[in-house]
Homo-oligomer: A and B are copies of this chain.
Amino acid sequence: MEETDERKQGDVVDGPAESVTLIDVARVAGVAPMTVSRALHRPELVRSATQKRVLDAVRATGYVPNMLAGGLASSKSSLVAVLLPTIASSVFADTVQALMDGLTAARYQTLLGLTGYSAQREEELVEAILGRRPDGVVLAGTDHTDVTVERLTRAKIPVVEIWDLTDTPIDIVIGFSHEKLGEELARHLVKKGYRRFGVLTVDDPRALRRANSFIHELQRHDIDNVSFEIRLAPATVQVGREGASAVLEGSALEIIVCSSDTLAQGVLAEAASRGLQVPQDLAVMGFGDLSMAAHVYPALSTVRVDGGAIGARTAQALLERFASGDRAKDYLVRVDTGFTIVDRDSA
């Protein structure tokens, strides 16, 4: 890392040095401050001639509205907080993109917080973030500390829990049931004739719930000897490969079910290095949204989730609430975005 610090040349930018306020603009435009405010936010309430003079004054002065002041005065921040476990996990990428697209179009801005899969960290972040008086909060998952839930409830703003489903949401929940997914996947694979299963998962709470309900459903079909391996998050290809070794020890398996496409790729790599054909010798099941996986590994089966839909629906739900002025949430919304089992048949 080469580093240089140098004196800056004497380049002074012309124009007003101090921050321009609404009052300055009003003075230049020859109107009252309130008229400037209106011209900017509710142009329909202002004569177009006045409107023009104001806009000219804004341009002339380089005025940038202070949203801290505006928010304080109006109790509306135009801010939405988004709390995710991590940004690394690409499963959330589409969701965030769609969510932000929707919010930005409606002139909302996004405050991002990273929880690292820790409910404790989420709790701290929620406290800090509520100080910003966001108009809404989006959280990944439904596992929160009691304090988090209480703070969120007291804030009396729309709260959306995503990428999961529950009968007792804080407010709005948009996602799918990880239990149902595990169950359906088990039934699907049993019906296809698989009997010797391996399960490889990281210790992310939602992944564990999928795995547990998967295994539980297998038991209902009298399949007990499942080779079960849990690794520490984050899920990387390397973890997948090492995990595959562990899972494959002992009895020969017909299929390994992974908690993510990334893990699955590691399993594929391990399979390849052992000379196993996928899916003939060993089938591999992933989970997620990594469109890459399907292209690179046509042999990989996966459970696909539409992260973009979750994000888009979340933005929509928030904007509806904002528009309706329902700052107090007096009805629940529960959207099941579902999932799709994408199966590469062994022939």
List residues of A whose CB falls within 8 A of some B CB.
1-8, 13, 15, 62, 64-72, 77, 82, 86-88, 90, 93-94, 96-97, 100-101, 104, 107, 109-114, 125, 127-133, 150-151, 153-154, 236-238, 241, 262, 265-266, 268-269, 291-292, 295-296, 309, 313, 329-338
Note all chain B residues with C-beta closer than 8 A to A70.
131
Are A334 and B86 in contact (CB-based, < 8 A)? no
Note all chain B residues with C-beta closer than 8 A to A96.
87
27 A–B pairs (Cβ distance < 8 Å), ordered by A: A1-B337, A3-B333, A4-B332, A5-B333, A6-B334, A7-B330, A8-B331, A13-B153, A62-B151, A66-B133, A67-B133, A68-B72, A68-B133, A72-B72, A82-B112, A88-B90, A88-B97, A90-B93, A100-B114, A109-B111, A109-B128, A109-B129, A237-B291, A237-B296, A238-B295, A266-B295, A269-B296
Are A112 and B133 in contact (CB-based, < 8 A)? no
Q: Which of B82, B129, B292 contacts A262 (CB 8 A)?
A: B292
Are B334 and A3 in contact (CB-based, < 8 A)? yes
Are B88 and A94 in contact (CB-based, < 8 A)? yes
Note all chain B residues with C-beta closer than 8 A to A337.
1
Q: Which of B151, B236, B309, B332 contacts A6 (CB 8 A)?
A: B332
Are A3 and B93 in contact (CB-based, < 8 A)? no
Are B131 and A67 in contact (CB-based, < 8 A)? yes
3 closest residue pairs by CB, A with B? A2-B336, A67-B131, A237-B295
Most buried by B among A94, A131, A268, A269: A131
Q: How far is the CB of A315 from chain B (nearest CB, A)?
A: 13
Are A331 and B6 in contact (CB-based, < 8 A)? yes
Q: Which of B93, B104, B331 contacts A88 (CB 8 A)?
A: B93
Are B154 and A13 in contact (CB-based, < 8 A)? yes
A101 to B335, CA, bound (A): 32
Whether A335 contacts B133 in the complex (CB less than 8 A), given A69-B72, A295-B238, comes out as: no
- Closest residue on chain B to residue A155 by CB atoms: B64
Whether A93 contacts B87 in the complex (CB less than 8 A), given A68-B133, A131-B65, A335-B1, comes out as: yes
Q: Which of B6, B66, B129, B295 contacts A241 (CB 8 A)?
A: B295
Are A62 and B265 in contact (CB-based, < 8 A)? no
Q: How far is the CB of A268 from chain B (nearest CB, A)?
A: 8
Are B131 and A309 in contact (CB-based, < 8 A)? no
Most buried by B among A4, A7, A68: A68
Q: How far is the CB of A100 from chain B (nearest CB, A)?
A: 6
- Closest residue on chain B to residue A65 by CB atoms: B131
A104 to B115, CA, bound (A): 11
A301 to B197, CA, bound (A): 36
- Closest residue on chain B to residue A238 by CB atoms: B295
Q: Given contacts A8-B331, A13-B150, list 4 more A-B pairs with CB under 8 A.
A: A6-B334, A88-B97, A101-B114, A109-B132
Q: Which of B8, B97, B127, B296 contacts A330 (CB 8 A)?
A: B8
